[in-house]
Structure 1
Amino acid sequence: MNANNNRMYSYYFLLPAGIIYFVFFLFPTLMSFFYSMTWWTLTDWEFIGFENFITFFESPSLRIGFRNTLFFAGTAVTGKVILGLLIAVFLTSKIRNKDMLRSIVFFPVLISAIAVGATFGVLMHPTDGIINNGLNLIGLPSVDWLGNPNLAIFSVAFTDIWRGVGIATVIFIAGIMAIPGDYKEALKIDGGNTFQEFRHIILPLSRPAMNTVIILALIDGLRNFDLVWAMTGGGPGFSSDVLASIIYKQYASGFYGLATAGNVILFFFVACIAFPVFKFINRKEVDL
């Protein structure tokens, strides 16, 4: 009897968190599935079945949105993993002022995406931007970084890497510092060099940190909106539109049911990519 009472008593501690989870996550999620199959406004709604999904998939910009979303996510993962790991290795080596350098690398993470997007929009201005002025000083022509349909999504992806590499670096630093020093000492005794230390010790034994960076960067890249919207608004044309910006445009145009259906599609799109990737990379994780 006491055991049952203790068990029920412990469940009471979960009740507040369960209520919050239901009210702010589970219930809105279930309602979004329902409203995705309706035509609705703030005061009225009408059930229309799967028409919103059919209309959304018939959108001429959707193929571009899917392509850009996958490109954005892949670029974010690649850039943040490679740069984050290399910077972390450098910042865990025997250099001076490591703490200051770590703070500088992490600083962009603290800035809002809107502020970063607005700043890089000015820096990448085709005529007055600092980047193009620097190119002109060395004899190179100016580049329309955000106005060229072939370059806009690359420019936004580069900015996202610049902003997010700090958190990746911090995670890698934690992973590298958790590696026992015995491994490195044994390698030095055997005459190993710095490259061999990176290849045979740091790279395999920092895999848990790498997995975390991959998942965080992948999910953030798949649902990225604010940076794209702040820098290009999805333009020029639809060239830099991602799924989230297409959904926002539907909301802004008053097509609330259509936009809700887009959110449901985005949810399944992210889940169908993130969960298999998570399972795959964790199968190859190396234990210390």
Structure 2
Amino acid sequence: MKPVAVSISQEHSKTTTVTATTGSKVYRPYSFWFYLPTAVIYAVLFLIPTFASFYYSLTRWSLFESKFIGLDNFKLFFAEPALVKGFTNTLIFAVVTSGSKVVLGLLLAVLLTSQVIGRAYLRSVVFFPVLVSTVGVGLLFQVMMNPERGIINGALGVIGIDGPGWLTDPKWALLSIAAVDVWKGVGLATLIYIAGIVSIPREYLEAARVDGAGAWDSFRRVVLPLCKPATVTVIILSLIGGLRSFELIWAMTRGGPGFTSDVISSVIYKQYQAGFYGLSTAGNVILFIVVTAIVLPLNWFLNRKEVDL
């Protein structure tokens, strides 16, 4: 038996690495070569296009040639009123949609984890819009929000309310699209919150009830703090989605009326259509920097404190 034991020990030692500082064993069941395909795919699909975008944002380029012009594209980006308006609309759209998804998603999750009749069916109804095509949703609501023949204004007219031009009035266009985006995306936020709520140990809620806590106190002192990871996830995902939003806005208004509902992504697309490839690439770079500059510090800020039990 000794030779067998020695050979097993030798084979086992090949899959472990001893650290020089602590002497503890770190088990590595797979070789680093297993990570190579993923690294290659990541480099080809993300790293190389990212660095290429940074370079081409400094050029005036077409499909066949490019000319280095330095920071002129970025200067023009911030000098164009339509582009600056798109940047402002992007921030407004992202904040409104992400904040609404957090609040509505949490409230719906609390409702759908309680003893409500038809709970499974209601969960399916809430999540269903997430599965529908974004372009399809945009075209549907474009018809429903028609100021003259739309079903929404028709329903308001029955009760004596003169509905506005949801997508034709500059005051309402961006917020109307944001409302549709919340309707479509709140199901995912609700699902994340449901997962967070059902993972809370029942002992905590039972202990709160024994201590005399009512429904509001249990929600405020138990559910809300312990759902912090879910809240962080919903905020980050919703904010990234809001900053990058394009399909819904393009399907519903194409940035109109005028430039009142333009966001950075729609402005970038219009610049590509017009043949200003360098300028639109600079917009992509700025959008990438904005998303990174907002999301990374926010993620650190939201995760810097753990929940005290």
TM-score, normalization by structure 2: 0.90
Identity among equivalent positions (%) equals 54
1:39 partner SS: strand
1:66 to 69, 82, 87: 87
TM-superposed CA distance for 1:209, in Å, is 0.3
The match for 1:272 is 293
Counterpart Cα distance in 2 of 1:218 and 1:287: 26
Q: Which residue of 1 aligns with 2:176?
A: 155
| Cα RMSD after superposing both structures | 1.7
Q: CA deviation at 1:112?
A: 1.5
- Aligned-pair distance for 1:7? 6.7
The Cα shift of 1:60 comes to 1.2
* Aligned residue among 15, 25, 34 for 2:55: 34
Closer, same or farther: CA 8–207 of 1 in aligned 2, 3 Å: closer
The structural deviation recorded for 1:37 is 0.9
Q: Deviations over 1:118-151 (max 9, x none)?
A: 1111110001111000110000113100000011
User: In the alignment, is the contact (CA less than 8 A) between 1:52 and 1:258 conserved in 2?
Assistant: yes
Q: Give the partner amino acid of 2:217.
A: Q
Q: Deviations over 1:127-180 (max 9, x none)?
A: 111100011000011310000001100101101100100000000000001111
Cross-structure match for 1:259: 280
Match in the other structure for 1:187: 208
Deviation at 1:39, TM superposition (A): 1.2
* Equivalence for 2:5: none
8 Å CA contact 2:97, 2:181 repeated in 1: yes
Which one-letter code corresponds to 1:137 in the other structure? Answer: V
- Matches of 1:127 and 1:160, distance apart in 2: 23
Match of 1:168 among 181, 189, 192: 189
Aligned to 1:56: 77
CA distance in 2 between partners of 1:142 and 1:94 (Å):
37
Task: Within 5 Å, give how 1:204-219 maps onto structure 2.
Answer: 204-219=225-240
Aligned partners of 2:40 and 2:136: how far apart in 1?
A: 35
Q: State the distance in 2 between where 1:259 and 1:82 align.
A: 35
The higher radius of gyration belongs to: 2
- One-letter code of the match for 1:149? P
Match in the other structure for 2:109: 88
Runs of 5+ in structure 1 lacking a partner?
Answer: none
SS of the aligned residue for 1:61 comes to helix
TM-score (normalised: structure 1): 0.96
Contact map agreement 1:232 1:240 (CA 8 A) in 2: yes
Distance in 1 separating the partners of 2:273 and 2:257: 18
Once the two structures are superposed, what CA deviation does each residue of 1:182-216 show, in whole Å capped at 9, x if it has no partner?
11111111222111111111111101100000000
